[in-house]
Structure 1
Amino acid sequence: AGTPPHDPRVPPQGRFSVPRQRGTDRGPGQRVSSGDIAALRSVGDLFRTLDHAYGGGHARQALVRYLEHEAEPMLRGTYGESTGRRLFAAAADLTRLAGWTSYDIAAHGLAQRYFVQALRLAQAAGDRAYGSYVLLTMSCQAVYLGHGREAVQLARVAQQGVGPAAPPVVQAMLHAVEARGHAVLGEARACSASQLRAERALGTARPGDEVPYWARAFDEAQLADELAHCHRDLQQYRTAAQHAERSLQLRAPGFARSRLFCRVVLATSRLALGELEQACALGAEAAKEASEMRSARAVEYVRDFERRLEPYRDAAAARTYRDRVAAIG
């Protein structure tokens, strides 16, 4: 259940129904207004902020209930073609976010069902670019699960979906995630080529560019984060550390989970470079941050660091690390 589909094509358009929890009553149909759609968008922004700062576990349950009780009745409501497209687009965004928060708590099969439904809704909205963003999200999940080949395939289908005229920031996102897939596979040359395309694309971005809302958070900090992960996976630890440090310098505090991930990448790199004390200090800081979130991914990042630390378990720095983590409670 944890493996993204081998065929990443958009599924055929069908009945629109977000994945549901048992025992949930549906509300009656209703006429959908512009205000309703604006509310869906605002709710999406709110849950995105919660997810970035505190983890998917904080946002997911309330988001799922909102989808079931508010968004789904709207999909079964009354609206014209133009309003319908905007409604489907807003519902696609919330559904993708439900998948993302499910992924963050390691409910991977459920996450994939949300992603597939988000693809259908994006298709109904006529929004190929957003469909590509959903595929990109699925590629990120494949990277996390270690399915590098599927990650590359999904990223490439996403690239085809937006085409060469996509804004530079979008192109940079797509190439960066493809690079992550190559890194998981140990394909250093292909990874380097994708990284270079991502860097060049972001380098051509200009403040006045029209960038879709879902791509606006992709900046120098995020690109450095992706590059750090790539070099870590390729065991190029000195370069990984440089990119991780740059990302941490640039990344806004509100992206707490991303900062934690990058801190662990830096800790792992320092450990591999023989800088045990610094690695343990960074790891302990990340462990404290993870304890304040509801994110299975955050916990797994810390556990990965601890597995790498195991050969040094008798060193003073490792004992200090364990003491600090134990004190977190």
Structure 2
Amino acid sequence: MSRTRRQNEALRGLLYEAGWGYGQFARSINAAGTRTGLSLRYDNSSVSHWLNDGTMPRQGTRDLILDVLSLRLRRPVTAADAGFGKPRLDDEGTDLITGLMDLARADMDPSRRSVLGAGLYSAAVVAVPGWQDVVGRIDMIKTNPSMRIGRREVESVIAMTELISGIDDQQGGRYARPMAATFLVNAIGPYLKAEAPDEVRKELLSAAADHCYLTGYMAMDERLDGLASRYYVKALELARIAGDELTFCTTLRGMSVMHGDLGDGPTASRLAQSASAASPKAGPRMRAFLAGQEAHAAAITGDRSLALLRIKQAEAAMEKAESQAKALGSYDPSALHYHISQVRYELGDMAGAIESMQQSHQIREPVFRRTRVRYGGMLAERKFKAGRFEEAFADWHRMLDEYPLIQSGRADDRFREMKTLIQPYLGNRGARELHERTMSVS
């Protein structure tokens, strides 16, 4: 450990704000270390040294401290905020970049490692403006790490993230995630290590955080929840260093969605509430986006009053947002109706859940094929459980029209659930026809 000559009043102030004593703080750090595979034994005396005699925690511990404080205070906490000095990538991000690159390399398909633009990846990236120039600059950065990058590189990361997101919407995470991991290793990693002006550095960290969040979301879509968690943590760390509240709270919300899907209502609710609190300056569409997830998570835990309150808030925010400009792919009325359906379903209102899911289906933008398949399967399941067999069979047939076109673990869940539900009813002609059709699909 290295030492300074002053007490850390900044860290002391954060502990006061968090409402933590020395022991609670130490236990939170130890628990965070355990989740990342570390066995830590910090205690009251460790915290006292950090605060009172100028002892600086080692780099890995500093990262954990910032993460636990960010989650506790529901906002990004930077190294400067905690009295660890001016946040520079060399100080705070070296281990993060190394860990992120190791994660992405392990996630890459081996056939994609040698050539940046192989196969589908190459076909996709030509849509990014100026891509050939970007590839050339990546090669230059690899051979000359001292080369400075600028906004062109930041724009290329943003453009690639948007492109991969579009592929994910149309074809599912299993197709798109290898591209995202490859781009992390071959472009974002070298960019993060290159020289850059401070403002460009901050923008790059934000763009990298957003790309990392998307990669985690696609891992979740494949039901690789452990992998998704690791990407999400990296996205939080990048967003925290960048001071990017938007990506920070979006990632917390994504983690809430994952835990809700796994049936862990209390964790989903805590993360959803943290996400809302982490973005106090959010516009109405983002407020609707966050409140909708809070409502669903509350409903999973059985908190009816909070769920209904948050849905009302989401509806009010959406009404205001729809009077403003909207970008394709942002939270929209279709997504809100999905959340209303989920709340109604969790609270026992099957008829209302079906009605809201149908409304969501009717107004969904056609580009979201993966969502259409997955939610179409959920709609059919609910109709089937409500005894509306013929409608359910029709919805399942529509799902099967597009199911072979996507690669999605969560869509696979819906396909398997359909087969399980109809199996006892094969004496019914509609169920039998559907079962026969699944034989050619599976």
Q: Does 1:33 align with 2:153?
A: no
Counterpart-to-counterpart distance in 1, 2:392 and 2:302: 24
Counterpart-to-counterpart distance in 2, 1:233 and 1:54: 29
The one-character-per-residue Cα deviations of 1:203-246 (angstroms, maximum 9, x if unpaired) are 2225446x8x7x96101111111222232333322111111111
Residue 224 of structure 1: aligned partner: 337
- Following superposition, the deviation at residue 173 of structure 1 comes to 0.8
Q: Does 1:108 align with 2:225?
A: yes
8 Å Cα contact 1:241/1:265 also seen in 2: no
Q: Structure 1 pair 311/194, CA: closer, same or farther in 2 (3 Å)?
A: farther
Residue 20 of structure 1: aligned partner: 104
Q: Which has the larger radius of gyration?
A: 2
Find the partner of 2:408 among 268, 292, 295. 295
Q: Does 1:188 align with 2:301?
A: no
> Secondary structure, in 3 states, of the residue corresponding to 2:278?
helix
Counterpart-to-counterpart distance in 1, 2:441 and 2:414: 17
8 Å Cα contact 1:169/1:205 also seen in 2: yes
Q: Structure 1 pair 252/189, CA: closer, same or farther in 2 (3 Å)?
A: same
Structure 2 unpaired stretches of 5+: 1-34, 37-67, 79-91, 115-140
Counterpart-to-counterpart distance in 1, 2:224 and 2:316: 35
- Following superposition, the deviation at residue 45 of structure 1 comes to 0.7
> Secondary structure, in 3 states, of the residue corresponding to 1:277?
helix
Q: Does 1:143 align with 2:256?
A: no
Residue 245 of structure 1: aligned partner: 358
Q: Does 1:168 align with 2:252?
A: no
Residue 197 of structure 1: aligned partner: 313
- Following superposition, the deviation at residue 266 of structure 1 comes to 1.7
Counterpart-to-counterpart distance in 1, 2:377 and 2:440: 19
> Secondary structure, in 3 states, of the residue corresponding to 1:166?
coil
> Secondary structure, in 3 states, of the residue corresponding to 2:321?
coil
Counterpart-to-counterpart distance in 2, 1:320 and 1:108: 34
8 Å Cα contact 1:288/1:325 also seen in 2: no
- Following superposition, the deviation at residue 67 of structure 1 comes to 0.5
Counterpart-to-counterpart distance in 2, 1:133 and 1:322: 39
> Secondary structure, in 3 states, of the residue corresponding to 2:195?
coil
Percent identical pairs in the alignment equals: 25
Q: Does 1:307 align with 2:409?
A: no
Larger relative contact order (Cα-Cα within 8 Å, sequence gap ≥ 6): 1
Q: Does 1:128 align with 2:128?
A: no
TM-score (norm 1): 0.90
Deviates more, 1:169-178 or 1:195-204: 195-204
Counterpart-to-counterpart distance in 2, 1:218 and 1:70: 29
Residue 189 of structure 2: aligned partner: 72
Residue 432 of structure 2: aligned partner: 319
Counterpart-to-counterpart distance in 1, 2:402 and 2:302: 30
Counterpart-to-counterpart distance in 1, 2:309 and 2:425: 35
Counterpart-to-counterpart distance in 1, 2:381 and 2:366: 21
Q: Structure 1 pair 111/35, CA: closer, same or farther in 2 (3 Å)?
A: same
Counterpart-to-counterpart distance in 1, 2:77 and 2:412: 33
TM-score (norm 2): 0.68
Residue 347 of structure 2: aligned partner: 234
Residues matched between the structures, number: 321
Counterpart-to-counterpart distance in 2, 1:206 and 1:223: 12
Counterpart-to-counterpart distance in 1, 2:190 and 2:400: 41
Deviates more, 1:305-314 or 1:126-135: 305-314
Q: Structure 1 pair 283/218, CA: closer, same or farther in 2 (3 Å)?
A: same
The one-character-per-residue Cα deviations of 1:120-155 (angstroms, maximum 9, x if unpaired) are 111111111220011011111111111111111001
Residue 132 of structure 2: aligned partner: none
Amino acid across the alignment from 2:105: Q
The one-character-per-residue Cα deviations of 1:147-180 (angstroms, maximum 9, x if unpaired) are 11111100100111112x4211111111111122
Amino acid across the alignment from 2:336: L
8 Å Cα contact 1:11/1:119 also seen in 2: no
> Secondary structure, in 3 states, of the residue corresponding to 1:21?
helix
